[in-house]
Structures are given as structure tokens and as C-alpha cells.
Amino acid sequence: MFRAIAYLIASILVLTLVRAVVGAIGRLFSGLTSPPAASPSTGKRPDAPVVESLQKDPVCGAFVAPSAAVQKTSGGKIYYFCSAACRDRFGA
């Protein structure tokens, strides 16, 4: 009888220890996959990167990012080109 109670108590202690270890590992990995926390100084999260929408070159049909494109304004509208050659052919 005493031996059965000792095994029961030992089993409970081992299960509690295993649960604590698994919980600690889970918290470690959840910290790696969760989004960044708010900054303590500002209370805001870091800004997400700005994603530009691609614009289609009206001459050759290539898609270019506005920040890397050659631009031309015509009739109040901005056109985006992949190269100066496409820009020059558009005007001709």
C-alpha cells in the first residue's frame, strides 16, 4: 500500500516537472514567432515596411516600382517607364 502511494506521488512530481519544462520551451518558441512588442518609450509597434504597387510601362508593358522608374508627366498624368529609351519612344 505504501509503495503504491509513493509511486503515485513520484508520478505526479515527474508529470509536474515535465509540464513545467514543456511550458518553458513553448514560451521560448512563441516569443520567436510573435510580432514585435510595442516599444516601451513610445508605446507603438515598429512601422511595417512600405510596399509600393507596381506600375505598368505603357511602351513595353514591363512592371516597375515607382521609386525605381523613369517618370514623365504628360497631360497632368504621371507615367512610369522601365528605362529612358521607353520614355523617349513614348514621346515620339
Average pLDDT rounded to a whole number, residues 12-31: 87
Cell of 59: 511602351
Give the domain ranges of the chain: 1-33, 55-91
Nearest residue to 72 (alpha-carbon basis) of 82, 63, 62: 82
Residue carrying the nine cell digits 497632368: 76
Nearest to 71 by CA among 54, 89, 83: 83
Per-residue confidence band for 83, with pLDDT thresholds at 50, 70 and 90: very high
Number of residues that make up the chain: 92
In the three-class reduction of DSSP (H, G, I as helix; E, B as strand; rest coil), residue 19 is classed as: helix
pLDDT of residue 46: 63
